[in-house]
Amino acid sequence: MSGAPQKGSTLKPALPKSDAGVHPCAACEVREHAVCGALTLPELAKFGGAMKHISLEAGDHLVDEGESETHVFSVTAGCLKCFKLLPDGRRQVVGFVFPGDFLGLAKADAYTSSVEAVTTATLCRMDRRELEKMSTSIPNLDKRLHEMASEALAELQGQLLLLGRKTAHERVATFLTMLSRRAEERGLPGNPVDVPMSRDDIGDFLGLTTETVSRTFSRLRKDGLIGGDKDRRVEILDEDGLTDIADGF
Partner DNA sequence: CGTCGCGTTGATTTTGCTCAAGATGGGTGG
Partner DNA sequence: CCACCCATCTTGAGCAAAATCAACGCGACG
Interacting residues with a copy of itself (CB under 8 A): 84, 86-88, 90-92, 94, 105-108, 112-113, 136, 139, 142, 145-147, 149-154, 156-161, 163-166, 204-207, 247-249
Residue 87 binds which of DNA, a copy of itself, none (CB < 5-8 A, kind-dependent): a copy of itself
Handedness of CA 104, 108, 112, 113 (dihedral sign): positive
207 binds DNA per the rule CB under 7 A? yes
Q: How far is the CB of 236 from DNA (least distance, A)?
A: 16
CA angle 200, 201, 204 (to 5 degrees): 90
57 binds DNA per the rule CB under 7 A? no
200 binds DNA per the rule CB under 7 A? yes
- Rounded CA-CA distance 180/173 in Å is 11
Which own/partner contact pairs does 240-243 have at CB distance under 8 Å and 24+ positions apart?
242/173, 242/176, 242/177, 243/173, 243/177
Residue 153 binds which of a copy of itself, DNA, none (CB < 5-8 A, kind-dependent): a copy of itself
Give how far the C-alpha of residue 163 lies from the chain's centroid of Cα atoms, to the nearest Å.
19
Q: Select from 81, 182, 217, 245 the one that contacts DNA (CB under 7 A).
A: 217
- Rounded CA-CA distance 169/175 in Å is 10
Q: Select from 136, 167, 184, 189 the one that contacts DNA (CB under 7 A).
A: 167
- Rounded CA-CA distance 59/174 in Å is 25
33 binds DNA per the rule CB under 7 A? no
Q: How far is the CB of 141 from DNA (least distance, A)?
A: 37
Q: How far is the CB of 212 from a copy of itself (least distance, A)?
A: 13
199 binds DNA per the rule CB under 7 A? yes
Residue 149 binds which of DNA, a copy of itself, none (CB < 5-8 A, kind-dependent): a copy of itself
- Rounded CA-CA distance 163/177 in Å is 16
Q: How far is the CB of 4 from a copy of itself (least distance, A)?
A: 29
How deeply is 191 buried, as exposed, middle or buried, from its count of CB atoms within 10 A (0-12, 13-18, 19+)?
middle
CA dihedral of 110, 113, 119, 123, whole degrees rounded to 10 = -30
Stretch that binds DNA, among 13-21, 65-73, 138-146, 161-169 (CB under 7 A): 161-169
Q: Select from 92, 120, 191, 210 the one that contacts DNA (CB under 7 A).
A: 210
Handedness of CA 115, 116, 121, 124 (dihedral sign): positive
